[in-house]
Structures are given as structure tokens and as C-alpha cells.
Structure 1
Amino acid sequence: MPGRVSRVSSATSETVELLRALVREACVNTGEASSGGEIRAVRVLQRFLAEAVERRCCETRVFEASPGRASLVARVRGTDPDAPALGLLGHLDVVPVDAERWTHDPFGGDLIEGEIWGRGTVDMLYLTAAFATAFREVALAEERPRGDLLLLAVADEEAGSDYGLRWLLREHPDAFGVTEALSESGGMRMGDHVVVEVAEKGSAGRRLVVRGTPGHASIPFGAQSAAYAAGEVLQRLAAVAPAVELGALWRSFVEARIDDPDLAGRMLDPVRLDAALLELGGIAGYAHAASRVTISPTVLRAGQAHNVIPGEAHIDLDIRTLPGTTDDEVDALLAEMLSGLSAEVEVRHLRGWPATESPEDEPLFDAVRDAIAQTDGSPVVPIMAAGGSDARLLRELGIPSYGFGLLSADWSYERYRQRIHAHDERIDVASVELTVEALRRIVSARVG
């Protein structure tokens, strides 16, 4: 229908221009409280929504957890208080870049041969821009929607949300009132299927404090360097092999991604899975992570002066857990690994959270599945994400939340992982258009 195509094309153009503007604000989150500067992106969104605000079609509020660390919450109120309240949850911050490794300016927002270049285009500014476009369309429509629609454009997702959604939920819970939500980590291709993220692994961060006997580096006899002890701990960590656990989502992943019946059969067998990983190519990393607890040493510190034998070393561990894994089980795994070193190594708990999952029998999941089928003709496959997102904070409150998107046909899961947080991050206009069109259908089905 010519009218529909024209409308989609216009919305795509607006979304692309909004995405480019958000990229140019360079809201880089280093993890420091003074970084981010998400207020700049909030101002971009305020300008984008200005007409709807001036016409009193929506309400907007800006919240600052600290100077510059701003989030925007916008709401279109529906006519039926019993209808769903759909939240479109996007973050505004991006990870740092090594600009010298980029082909084009990482904050230029350049549109080159059908692709928008820039840090954050994939994670997740393209989706935040699409959410804003869908929100503005509903706000400016002649008729009010049946249910509430909320745009939640938040700070600090990349560093744990202490200045973003976590802070908002604690300090301003009245600003939300959503009953269901869409966020990131969906839309890539698994074979003929499109991924919808319904779950995320948990996190159980730990710091291993390794102690030795300090001394002057010129007279090492009698000293015991904590660096040597840390080396032994790292060797033991490298040998840890947490048990394979194939959860409820594993079979659907295998069926969607693996065509070879023999390989699929081995992947469904916990005993034979690890040998099969070697045949999976670019998807092996995800398959490994989704089938067990993983432990990754990420930060190692020992000593301060070159002529002092260190008496203490720190090893930070990024531990990602499966649904049902408890802190006690993580501690027991580490205690077994550290057997015989307990006097030299102290285990400290860092930030953590449990794995979260939203059920597949929720009306919002049905709407996502139907919208993707109507837009693209593709079936969906629910998966558990190996990483984390702000959606877990809503799931912890019992709010069904799903990772959404609809990327173009060339966006395999492998390509998505290669582009996210990478040099030369970019996304194609075709993916923006597909996402906007599918999102329209979801919004119409849930609150229209």
C-alpha cells in the first residue's frame, strides 16, 4: 500500500537523523561518576519531542542522579486504566573508543553507503531512536491510545545503572508504572529465526585478595611475593570447568541454529557438548556461555613500587551465573578451586544479581512474535543473553521484559557480536526500517 510505505520511509528517515544526532553527543561512560554526560542526549530527545510536549500530547520529566547524569521519562496517557502500560527502555550512554582504530569519526554519525557509523549505533542508540520515533507517533496521533506508552531513555546502563535505572527505581518509583517493557539484545538472526531475548545470566562478581610476605626487591630471600601466589591462583582458575547445565531455552536455540542433525544431537547431550563446540564457528562462544557458569579474571593488581615485593594482590572475577545458581554455590566452587590456599586468599563479594527470565506466555511476547512475522515473515527464537541489560531490573520487579529489534537478513548473531562495542561500529538503514515497522505493530497491538 503506497500510504504505508511512505509513512514507514518518513519514520525511518526521522529515526536515522535522530540516531545520528545521539551519536554526535558522545555520551561516553567510563564508569566514573563524572563521565557519561547523558544530559546532552536528553536535550536531543527533548527537541525531538518538542511538538508533542507543546501540544500537551505527552508528559516528560528529566531526572539527574548527579550533575549531567540525566534520564528522560516521557508518557502518553491512555484512555483505559486497565490496559497495559508499555515501557520502551533505551539507554543513552556508550562505551569508550580507541578513535585511532576507526575508519571514520566514531562520533561523527556519518551515513555512508546505507550505514550509520558511530559508537553506540548498535548498542543501543538505534533502538533508543526507534523507541522515540514510535513514542512520538503515538503522542501526535489524532486519537489517544488505549493504554499508556512510556519512553524510558536512561543513563549509565554500561556501568551498572547506579546513575540510571537502578537509581530511578529506588528514588523515583512513581515515575514508571509500566506493566511490561521492551529493551535491547534482540533482532539478530539465528538461522531462519529472529532472536528475542527473554532471559539474562546473572552476575556474581568476586575479588580474590591474595596475600604474601613483602620485602625489598633487592633482597628477595625470605619474602614471598603475592604476585607469585596470584599466578598460582590464575593457573587454578584456568583449570576450573563448571558443570554443563542445559536450561529450558537450550533446545530452541539448537533447533533454530543447527541444521546438521548429528551436530544438534551432540549439542543436546551434556557429555558430548564441549567437543561439539569446536564445530560451531562464531556461535561457539555464545553456546559455551549459555550452557554453564563462566568465570573470567578481568582485573589484576599487585604492588605499587618497582623495588618492593608486593605483600598483596587482587584478582577481580566476572562470574556469570545460570538461572537458579546461588551465591553459596559460587562460593563453594571457588573454595574447591582454592583448596589448600585458604590462608593466603580471601574471597570478597562484589556487585551481583541473579539471572532473570520473563515467561513466553505473556501477551507482549505474543505481540513481538506476531509483529516480526508480519513485518519480516520470520519465526522467533527465545534465548538467554550471556551479558546483562537494564531489563533485568524490571524483571526483578516482576515486569515482563524482552530484548527486541529486527535487524536485516545479514545480521547473524555472529555479526552482531562482532559489531557491538567494536571498532567501526555501525548499523544499516534497512535494520532501522525493519525495527521501526515491527515496533509500530507491537505498540498498536498492546496499547493502540
Structure 2
Amino acid sequence: MADDRDPGTPEAVALLQALIREACVNTGDPQSGQEIRSVRVLQRFFAEVPVEMQVLEASPGRASLVVRVRGTEPGAPALGLLGHLDVVPVDVAGWTRDPFGGELVGDDTNGEVWGRGAVDMLYLTSVFACVVREVALAPTPPRGDLVLLAVADEEAGGEFGLRWLLREHSAAVQVTEVLSESGGMRMGDHVAIGVAEKGSAGRRLVVSGVPGHASIPYGAKSAAFEVAEVLQRLSVVQPAIQFGELWAPFVAARVEDPELAERLLDPVRVDAALPQIGGIAGYAHAISRNTISPTVISAGQAHNVIPGEATIDLDIRTLPGTTDDEVDQLLTEMLGPLAGSVRIEHLHGWAASGSPIDTPLFAAIERAVRDVAGAAVVPNLAAGGSDARLFRDRGIPAYGFGLLEPDWSYERYRAHIHGNDERISVGSVDLALRALRQIVADRIG
């Protein structure tokens, strides 16, 4: 394989390294990210290339780039390649190498590019840009539009990125189908392609007590103690197991032992079987039920004051079909006799989203994965979220794309996203480039 690298792979690797080095870290603060730096990198990459290019800034420095290659046939597909430019923060002490060095470790055929965002998702943003540039420079224009959407603020919900673009500049981001992140990882002999994502139903539990002076606790009722009881109840709550239509394909692709597969398909026995599937058990647990994770806990402001109020923030991820009312009902039932002293507030959230698999774009993905990697595709439900949902909400099919090397299992992929020592193999960049080129030719060539 090393001797058969695509001629475009070195260019994609170099662009990936350049994007990593811009360190567009999104902390959630409106002033963070500063994706304009990576936009400038891409502007230079497309300099003197015959494309339509727009820099759109939601606020100073929070910039996105839209690059469009116009097609020749009215009514042909407009394929959007959706990549984000922001990355999550790092714990520098936990890294073996400079997280923003973009270092190529090993040689340029079998090495790995290290750095925050290498997997999530700058390698794909780079591959997207390279294919758009190739199409723009080709002697024959495409039938349909090809659009690079290199956006800001994906890691914090998109208010300064795609959400803002769709609201304020909808014409600029007009597409009919989309490829984005959350695909390409290996599941047995299959390649997972994202077709759906769980929803988010953030909640804040406001716990009431009776304040008082900490030196005389008699008669007071510390909200901190109440928080402990609420957390205890949360630790034992068991949302109902729900096997959606993507569960059985996942089990078939990942589990070879028929007896174990049978247990995993049984809602009564599935939890006892999860430890036997190794590192993917966490993912399997997450996509077979709604999940509730306490994340931020706060009580009190002064050392000598018994707090009369405390809060618990919950990250709740929901399966398709789950309503806000059902989430509130589950929490109320969990609280039991404590419900009278706990107020449930809604934080940000969104519904689960999905795209059908009987579309021409998904068929093109299947053909490309088969031709480039000799593998079949398994449709995948993502436990987390991405900007792709914003297109799905508008009825536009959007899929999590990628094509990683055979040793890049789901577990390896997940370990690098938001983790220490994030990196991507040159071979995975190469495979994704080859597959994407074929998909683009298939859909709009």
C-alpha cells in the first residue's frame, strides 16, 4: 500500500498540518476559536483557482469559508462537503508531542500526523478542500455544484458557524446533499458510515434547601445534602433499552459469535453481554438507550453560609423519537419524593436526526468504499452530535463520511477524538481522498 499512495495525498497531509498549527481552539467562549486564521490558510490554498469564494464572519474572527465550483447542468445535485475548522481545548501535560505542532511522525507514506483536530475533523476538511481544488482545476467542469463548507464553531453548537450561516446566508450554503464527519471507522469487515445522530436534551436540576449560618446548622437544610441524594438516584436510574433499526446491523457487523450476537439482540440479556464485546461496549450502551450524565455541579458561594440552592447540569442524549416531555417525565420519576424540592430547567438541545439510506448519495458512498477498500458499509448511529443535523433538519440527506485504514477500529477512532495524543495515519488520509474523489465523480462528474 505504501508504494501506491495517491499523488494528491502529500498535498492533503501538508494542508492538514497547516490547519492544526493555526490552533483554532473553541472553549465555548464567543471570543475563542478565531477560525479566521484557518480561513486564511484555505484562501491561500485556493489562490488563483477558478472558484467562487466567500468569507462570512458571524463576529470578529469567527469566520467560515464557502468555496463553490459551479456545475453546468441545472437540476444536477449540489454536493456539500461540510468540514469544521475549530478544535477542542487540550491538556498539554497529557500530550507526548506538541498538540499544535502538526508533526508528521514516521515517513510520508506510513506515518501519522499528530495534533489537536487531526481526527476531529481537520483531516477530512483537508481532503474535502483538495478534491474541490482538483475539480475546479479539471479541464471539464462538473455537472453539478461542489461546495466546500469550512465552518466555525461546530464544537460549541454552531451559533457562530453553520447555524448562523443557514439563518443569515442561506443562499451561500445552498446544497442538496452533504458529506461530513463521523464515518470511516472499521467495524469488523465493515466500514461505518454515519446516517443518524442521537439528540441532546440538556437539563439543569435546581435543588432547593433552607439556608443558614454554617456555624449553627440546626434548622437549616443544606442544598448540598439534597444534591447528594439526587445524584444517588441518578446513579441507579435505568432508561429503557430501545433497539432502533440500526442496532441489528451494528451487531451483525461487529460480533462474529452467534450466541453472543443473540444475547445482544435481546433487551433482557444485552447489558450482561456488553462486557464481552470489549472496548466498543460504551458505544453499544449509548446507542441502545437514552443516557443521562451529570456534568456540572454547583452549591454555595461563601464558606460560612449553608447553601439554600444547588444545581446539577445533565447531559442527556436521546434516541430518535424521544420527546422533551418524555425526558422530563423520566427525571420526575427518578426524583420520586424529592421532586417537590427540585425544579427542572431546559438547557440547549436538539432532536435526534437521521437520513435515509435509499438515496443516490449513500449508494455512491457504498460503491466507493467497496472499490477503494474492498469493504461493505454498515450504517451507523452516532452517540454524539455534529453540524450535519442542521442539514438533516431541513430535509437534506447528510452522511458521516470517512475511510480509515483497517486497523482503525471504532475504539481507536473514539480514543483520539477529544483525547490526548490525537493523530491520524497518512494511510487513512489517502483512503479518504480516493473514496471522496470517486463519490464526487459519481454524483456530479
Shift of 1:8: 5.8
Provide the residue aligned with 1:79 in structure 2. 72
Give the TM-score normalised by structure 1. Answer: 0.97
Provide the residue aligned with 1:353 in structure 2. 350
Match for 1:427 among 421, 424, 427? 424
Match for 2:287 among 287, 290, 300? 290
In the alignment, the residues of structure 1 paired with residue 275 and residue 409 of structure 2 have an alpha-carbon distance, to the nearest angstrom, of 19
In the alignment, the residues of structure 1 paired with residue 303 and residue 132 of structure 2 have an alpha-carbon distance, to the nearest angstrom, of 57
In the alignment of these two chains, the number of paired residues is 440
Q: Tell me, yes or no, if structure 1 residue 66 matches structure 2 residue 63.
A: no
Match for 2:404 among 402, 407, 411? 407
In the alignment, the residues of structure 1 paired with residue 420 and residue 322 of structure 2 have an alpha-carbon distance, to the nearest angstrom, of 34
Provide the residue aligned with 1:267 in structure 2. 264
Shift of 1:342: 2.4
Q: Secondary structure of 1:359's match?
A: coil
In the alignment, the residues of structure 2 paired with residue 304 and residue 50 of structure 1 have an alpha-carbon distance, to the nearest angstrom, of 54
Report the residue type matching 2:94 in the other structure.
R
Judge which range, 434-443 or 336-345, deviates more: 336-345
Report the residue type matching 1:102 in the other structure.
W
Shift of 1:74: 0.8
In the alignment, the residues of structure 2 paired with residue 62 and residue 213 of structure 1 have an alpha-carbon distance, to the nearest angstrom, of 54
Provide the residue aligned with 1:106 in structure 2. 99
Report the residue type matching 1:267 in the other structure.
L
4+ residue runs over 2 A deviation: 5-10
Report the residue type matching 1:371 in the other structure.
A
Report the residue type matching 1:246 in the other structure.
F
In the alignment, the residues of structure 1 paired with residue 311 and residue 376 of structure 2 have an alpha-carbon distance, to the nearest angstrom, of 47
Question: Contact 1:106–1:117 at 8 Å: present in 2 too?
Answer: yes
After superposition, residues 23-102 of structure 1 pair within 5 angstroms as 23-52=20-49, 57-102=50-95
In the alignment, the residues of structure 1 paired with residue 294 and residue 280 of structure 2 have an alpha-carbon distance, to the nearest angstrom, of 22
Shift of 1:219: 1.2
Taking structure 1 as reference, are residues 80 and 6 closer, same or farther at Cα in structure 2, changes over 3 Å only?
Answer: farther
Question: Contact 2:6–2:434 at 8 Å: present in 1 too?
Answer: no
Q: Secondary structure of 1:301's match?
A: strand
Shift of 1:317: 0.5
After superposition, residues 296-445 of structure 1 pair within 5 angstroms as 296-445=293-442
Provide the residue aligned with 1:193 in structure 2. 190
Q: Secondary structure of 2:163's match?
A: helix
Q: Which runs of 5+ in 1 are unaligned?
A: none
Shift of 1:308: 1.1
Shift of 1:6: 9.7
Report the residue type matching 1:78 in the other structure.
G
Q: Secondary structure of 2:435's match?
A: helix
Question: Contact 2:16–2:126 at 8 Å: present in 1 too?
Answer: yes
Q: Which runs of 5+ in 2 are unaligned?
A: none
In the alignment, the residues of structure 1 paired with residue 262 and residue 295 of structure 2 have an alpha-carbon distance, to the nearest angstrom, of 34
Percent of pairs with identical residues: 69
Q: Tell me, yes or no, if structure 1 residue 117 matches structure 2 residue 114.
A: yes
Report the residue type matching 1:251 in the other structure.
A
After superposition, residues 100-179 of structure 1 pair within 5 angstroms as 100-113=93-106, 114-179=111-176
Report the residue type matching 2:312 in the other structure.
I
In the alignment, the residues of structure 2 paired with residue 280 and residue 125 of structure 1 have an alpha-carbon distance, to the nearest angstrom, of 30
In the alignment, the residues of structure 2 paired with residue 281 and residue 6 of structure 1 have an alpha-carbon distance, to the nearest angstrom, of 34
Shift of 1:171: 1.0
Report the residue type matching 1:257 in the other structure.
R
Shift of 1:185: 0.5
Shift of 1:7: 10
Report the residue type matching 1:327 in the other structure.
D
Report the residue type matching 1:85 in the other structure.
A
Q: Secondary structure of 2:303's match?
A: coil
In the alignment, the residues of structure 1 paired with residue 19 and residue 407 of structure 2 have an alpha-carbon distance, to the nearest angstrom, of 25
In the alignment, the residues of structure 2 paired with residue 250 and residue 101 of structure 1 have an alpha-carbon distance, to the nearest angstrom, of 35
Question: Contact 1:8–1:437 at 8 Å: present in 2 too?
Answer: no
Shift of 1:215: 1.2
Report the residue type matching 2:8 in the other structure.
A
